[in-house]
Amino acid sequence: MKPIIEITDLYFSYDNKNLAINNLNLIIYEKEWVAILGHNGSGKSTLAKLLIGLLEPLRGTIKVNDKILSQETVYDIRRETGIVFQNPDNQFVGSTVADDIAFGMENQQISREEMKKRIDKYIKKVRMEAYLQHEPHLLSGGQKQRVAIAGALAMDTKILVFDEATSMLDPQGREDINTLIQELKNDGDKTIISITHDIKEAMLADRVVVMKEGTVVATGKPTEILKDETLMKDCGLDVPLTVKLSQELKKYNIINDIYVNQEDLVKSLWEYSLIK
């Protein structure tokens, strides 16, 4: 696996007193889906802003595709990284859905023909083709986020960052976006970074990175990280219900393992019921 983002000894402060990012080191590999988990204030969104050069680090380096992020390279690097923000209402500029998707491309002097092609392709990808001429502000939260994703996809970047993109949506909207991220992952040509505190969302990723007080405190497979109750609680997060039930059942020797995945837990119970 080839690293696509390499973050070394990164520091950042909003007020020159408290460190929002405090000695953070992280490597993200090409085409993996990484979920960055942490409570509000742990520094995850600050990290996202540093990644796309909206904020400048105090110290340390961010390398994207072998280029060190700096004032000279920031525009190049933004062409590699698309981002979808948390609040669906704060990221629209166009008067129609189509205009809005075109906006980012206009800034990159992409030909009109190519723009049309991409709008057509990605509006279908997010299943919003019926809304091309609609005004963005009349859409539901989930629909707005889908349009924002189409806009990010149209930029044809290698990396996509979802900065708590589902946290303001209703369950249906959340599911739609998570399904879409899974599809993008399965298409296999994007590196996906989703910043979240939703455990269900983190469970879908290839790898989970847990942040606390501006630094990475753990990283690993979702099934390993999410069952670590001490770690999760310590980071202001919760463990899945399956983990809690596993712990209880272990006390009765009904199962031997702690399961993150519901299917695995139920299967283990079923096996027990057969031998009993």
Partner 1 sequence: MGIQFDKVNYLYARGTSQEKAALIDIDLNIDLNDFIAIIGHTGSGKSTLIQHMNAILQPTSGVVKILDKTIIGGRKNRDINIVRKRVGLVFQFPEYQLFEETVEKDIMFGPLNFGVTKEEAAIKAREALKWVGLDQDLLQRSPLNLSGGQMRRVAIAGILAMEPDVLVLDEPTAGLDPQGQKEMMEMFYNLHVNQQKTIILVTHDMNYVAQYANRVIVLNEGRIVFDGNTWDLFANYELIKKYHLDLPDITKLIIDIENKLGIELDHKINTVENLAQALVQALGGANHVR
Q: Given the rule CB under 8 A, which residues bind partner 1?
A: 38-41, 86, 140-141, 164, 167-168, 170-173, 197, 199, 236-238, 241-242, 244-245, 247-249, 251-254, 256, 262, 266-267, 269-270, 272-273, 276
Minimum distance of partner 1 from residue 204's CB (angstroms): 16
Distance between terminal CA atoms of the chain? 45
Query: Among the residues of the chain, which ranges form H helices?
Result: 44-51, 74-78, 97-106, 112-125, 141-154, 171-187, 199-204, 222-225, 229-234, 241-251, 262-275
CA angle, corner 58, sides to 53 and 40, nearest 5? 70
Structure tokens at 81: 């990284």
Minimum distance of partner 1 from residue 229's CB (angstroms): 12
Rounded-to-integer distance, Cα 140 and Cα 162, Å:
18
Q: Which is nearer to partner 1, 84 or 237 (CB)?
A: 237
Cβ atoms 156, 121 nearer than 8 A = no
Q: Which is nearer to partner 1, 11 or 272 (CB)?
A: 272
Q: Which is nearer to partner 1, 2 or 276 (CB)?
A: 276
Structure tokens at 86: 């948390």
Q: Which is nearer to partner 1, 59 or 244 (CB)?
A: 244
Minimum distance of partner 1 from residue 255's CB (angstroms): 9
Minimum distance of partner 1 from residue 10's CB (angstroms): 22
Rounded-to-integer distance, Cα 99 and Cα 101, Å:
5
Q: Which is nearer to partner 1, 103 or 272 (CB)?
A: 272
Minimum distance of partner 1 from residue 150's CB (angstroms): 20
Q: Which is nearer to partner 1, 186 or 273 (CB)?
A: 273
By C-alpha distance, which of 104, 76, 79 is closest to 91?
104
Measured torsion, CA atoms of residues 59, 60, 64, 66, in degrees rounded to the nearest 10:
130
Q: Which is nearer to partner 1, 122 or 131 (CB)?
A: 131
Q: Which is nearer to partner 1, 99 or 175 (CB)?
A: 175
**Amino acid residing at 148:** A
The one-character DSSP state at 136 is: G
Minimum distance of partner 1 from residue 32's CB (angstroms): 24
Minimum distance of partner 1 from residue 16's CB (angstroms): 15
Minimum distance of partner 1 from residue 112's CB (angstroms): 34
Measured torsion, CA atoms of residues 210, 158, 91, 183, in degrees rounded to the nearest 10:
-80
